[in-house]
Amino acid sequence: MPLILVHREEPIAVVQLNRPEALNALNPALMQELVVALETLDDDAKIRAIILTGSEKSFAAGADIKEMAALTAAEIKKQNPLQVWDRVATIKKPLIAAVSGFALGGGCELSMMCDIIIASDTAKFGQLEINLGIIPGAGGTQRLTHAIGKSKAMEWILSGNIYSAQEAAEAGLVSKVVPAAQVLNEAKKLALTIVEKSPIALAAAKKAILASLDLPLTEGLQKERQLFYQLFDTQDQKEGMQAFLEKRKPNFTGK
């Protein structure tokens, strides 16, 4: 049985985690299939945005503890199982997480690697690693702090508690909370709005926003300015501004 299902609905695609018997626990085999699927779609000119989802019961209930429990520090460092996870965060096209049910531990970290999180009212978020005698290892301590601030991140990670979708939205982690039956359609609706924009401008906007997580404000502003100026050498910039002046819808080609 494939661990990842890809549903093409050009110009968008839905990538679905498919280990229902394990609540979509993120073992190395699943993560490898996921990265391949995402990178393939990222290189596909017919796909302009990607949605990542799980099942109604579980987006992803964390990393697969069974595969890690007996490892020593030297063994897990040599295996470096989390290295492949980093590639999710390098996807250039807009990546939207549609989350229902559990998004815990590695599942929460995976959702934060996406650009936008749409959650169902059944979604449950949390970094539970402290309950296992470890800490988040796939970006949880870093991305969660950027998303919800130091004090809230400390609370989430040090307590190992589980938080509702509404609490996650109030903290700033989640963009929108919708009824469970609507979460995928809401993500598709947003994706279809996004893909109407210039692909070059979308990539530049995503690059600039992600740079803000790594750079001091002064350097981030310089990066933004550089990307802004570069867009004036694109056909999409000319088309977008001309369409605005002519009061018509622009026809962006990604050039």
User: Which residues are tagged catalytic?
Assistant: 63, 106, 109, 129
Compute the 3-state secondary structure of the chain and give helix, strand, coil in percent, each to the nearest 5.
50, 15, 30
The radius of gyration of the chain's CA atoms, rounded to the nearest angstrom, is 19
What is the rounded CA–CA span in Å between residue 95 and residue 114? 5
Residue 14, phi then psi, degrees to nearest 5: -110, 125
Q: Which of 197, 175, 195 is nearest to 186 (CA)?
A: 175
What is the rounded CA–CA span in Å between residue 123 and residue 143? 19
> DSSP labels for 30-91?
HHHHHHHHHHHHHT-TT--EEEEE--SSEEE--B-GGGTTT--HHHHHHH-TTGGGGGGGG-
Residue 119, phi then psi, degrees to nearest 5: -115, 145
What is the rounded CA–CA span in Å between residue 79 and residue 222? 38
Q: What are the counts of helices (DSSP H) followed by strands (DSSP E) for the chain?
A: 10, 10
Tokens 């299902």 -> residue: 5
